[in-house]
Amino acid sequence: MNVESGKLKPGQARCPAITTQEIIAKDKVGAPGWVRSESYEFLGDEDIPTDRYTDPAFAELEYERLWTRTWQFACREEHIPEVGDYYVYDIGTYSFIVTRVAENDIRAYFNACLHRGTKLRASGSEGSASEFKCVFHGWSWNIDGSNKGIVCPWDFPHVDRSTLNLPQARVETLGGFVWINMDQDAPTLSEYLGPEALAHFAAWKLEDRYVSSHVVKSYPANWKLSVGAFHEAYHVPRTHPQVCPANGDLNTQYDVYSDHVDRFIAPQGVPSPYHEGRYSEQEVLDQCTMGDSSMVGDDRPIVPEGGTARQVMADMYREMFEAATNTDLSGVSDSEMIDCFSYTIFPNTFLFPGISLPMAYRFLPNPKDHRETQFEIFFLRPVPKDGVRPEPAEPEYLTPEQSFTEAKSMDPGFGKIMDQDTDNLFMQQEGLEASAKPGLTLGNYQEIRIRNFEKTVDRYMTVKP
Ligand code: FES
Ligand SMILES: [Fe+2]
């Protein structure tokens, strides 16, 4: 679409290069409806006030108004496959023991003893339990949350054990994820996501994936800045120049589905519009495969006469991932094989349902420091077709000083990209604290997900519980 932005209404201008949909339309194995649709809406162009990233009082209010009322990815179902298995999920100072009580019954207990409040399970712990017994005086609860016993009941005639149940957050499962919400009056998860996003979920079958690696690192930037850094591909030419020869960044497609769900599709195997005309198809392909002998073996892949790097990449990825995961991907579209699909589930989860880089991100604020975020990357590989689900990977913790390239369970090339993103973040945090300008300015199209996200933050923050 070649347009002059001056003649258009706000939000109508697009990168003059080939569009994401035009690229996908040329693919050999066609893409499903959830890939081929567009859903952009102009949401205003005011600056975003800076204090939400720099003011500890804003973070305090988020714990009262935002984290207590939103659906959050607490763990994967495969983290708690058996009755009695549990996984502790902390958000801020809140903590939950997410427990499988029966085959189809998962509960999330507030992680605090009903005597004098001691945590029943340590933060970051997981395991299998037949009861939850407090370490302090020994009061205990069954895994269904009912009280099992208190010590010296003669001293507590005023305590009715029959009603001394562990309080619960709400729990729903979708796509193999366990979601929790502290708000008993919140919409259901389906209502929260909306019908369009639910249809996308149904197509992805993320319940048939498993956590093949899990990398965790903290760094000094507010969690909302962190979310925003992954909401757009506008930063790619400057921040990740090494991927530009084979990455459609400035012509990435952005979609908004509801207050709580949006996405981008960044086409791969095509050059950045920033470099348009600079590379031949063979050079694009060389860039995609360069240095990765696991992908290409000893032979340099060649783009056939009249062919495209993108098509060679899609065919190669399909073959490679079928072999590596023992799965049948013949019906999976070229776009799903190679493109980067990034979805946000408000507030702090990203899902990447594509095949070549299947992931979830989770961003957790540090309750003791509003300018610190814990960033988790979960790789979600398909369960092999023999149906035997591998154990979910243990988390690999990096120190704040370590590079993502040091993660043993992550490709170093991807680690370099994560380093580039997170290095920007603490520079952005410090810059906002040093800035004379009171707000952030956003592009109407490429930064629409940030605007959608911050508008939703505002919606929660302005309504008292
Ligand atoms: S605080 Fe838990 S038994 Fe006393
Ligand atoms: Fe990035």
Bridge partners, 256 (sequence order): 262
What CATH number is given for 72-185 in this structure? 2.102.10.10
* Ligand 1 atom having least distance to the Cα of 150: 3
Q: What's the 113 CA to ligand 1 centre distance in angstroms? A: 6
Class of domain 5-52+210-462: alpha beta
Q: What's the 144 CA to ligand 1 centre distance in angstroms? A: 19
Q: What's the 196 CA to ligand 1 centre distance in angstroms? A: 46
Bridge partners, 375 (sequence order): 217, 363
Looking at residue 334, its pLDDT comes to 97
Residues of the chain within CATH 3.90.380 domain(s) are: 5-52+210-462
Bridge partners, 118 (sequence order): none
Q: DSSP 3-state assignment of 235?
A: coil
Looking at residue 297, its pLDDT comes to 60
Looking at residue 288, its pLDDT comes to 80
Looking at residue 295, its pLDDT comes to 55
Residues in the chain: 465
For tokens 């939400």, name the residue: 52
Q: For 364-396, write each residue's pLDDT tens digit.
A: 999 999 999 999 999 999 888 787 899 999 999
Q: What residue's CA is closest to ligand 1, atom 4? A: 137
Q: Which ligand is nearest to the CA of 120?
A: 1
Q: What's the 133 CA to ligand 1 centre distance in angstroms? A: 9
Looking at residue 292, its pLDDT comes to 54
**Distances in whole angstroms, Cα of residue 241 to Cα of each of 37, 108, 229, 256, 295:** 29, 43, 16, 27, 22
Amino acid letter at 233? A
Residues 179, 78, 224: CA angle, nearest 5 degrees: 40
Substitution candidate for ligand 1 out of 113, 131, 132 with most atoms within 8 A of CB: 113
**pTM for this prediction:** 0.95
Spatial CA neighbour of 255 closest among 454, 452, 421, 46: 452
Residues of the chain within CATH 2.102.10.10 domain(s) are: 72-185
Looking at residue 293, its pLDDT comes to 47
Looking at residue 244, its pLDDT comes to 86
pLDDT along the chain (465 residues), means of 10: 67 96 97 96 98 98 98 98 98 97 98 98 96 98 98 98 98 98 98 96 94 97 98 96 91 97 97 88 84 59 93 93 84 95 98 92 98 97 86 97 96 95 96 98 98 98 88
* Ligand 1 atom having least distance to the Cα of 113: 2
* Ligand 1 atom having least distance to the Cα of 151: 3
Any residues with Cβ below 6 Å from ligand 1, and which?
Answer: 113, 115-116, 118, 134, 136-139
Amino acid letter at 167? P
